[in-house]
Amino acid sequence: MPTYEYKCKSCGCKFDFFQGMNDSHLKDCPECKEPALKRLMGAGAGFIFKGSGFYETDYRSDSYKKDEKKDKDASKPKSDVKKTDKPKKETVSKAS
Over the chain (96 residues), the average pLDDT of each successive run of 10 is: 88 90 90 93 66 67 84 75 61 62
Residue 78 belongs to a domain:
no
Q: Residue 16 sits in which domain range?
A: 3-40
Q: Give the pTM.
A: 0.44
Q: With left for phi above 0 and alpha for psi between -120 and 50, is residue 12 left, alpha or beta?
A: left
Under a CB-based contact definition with an 8 Å cutoff, are residues 38 and 57 in contact? no
| Residue at 64 is within a domain | no
pLDDT for the residue 89: 65
User: Does some domain include residue 66?
Assistant: no
Q: Is residue 27 part of a domain?
A: yes
| pLDDT recorded at residue 20 | 85
Report yes or no on 16 lying in a domain: yes
pLDDT of residue 64: 82
Count of structural domains, the chain: 1
Give the per-residue pLDDT at 68: 84
Let me know if residue 31 belongs to a domain. yes
29 inside domain: yes
Q: Which 3 state secondary structure label does DSSP give 63?
A: helix
For residue 18, tell me if it sits in a domain.
yes
pLDDT of residue 82: 58
pLDDT at residue 10 in the model:
93
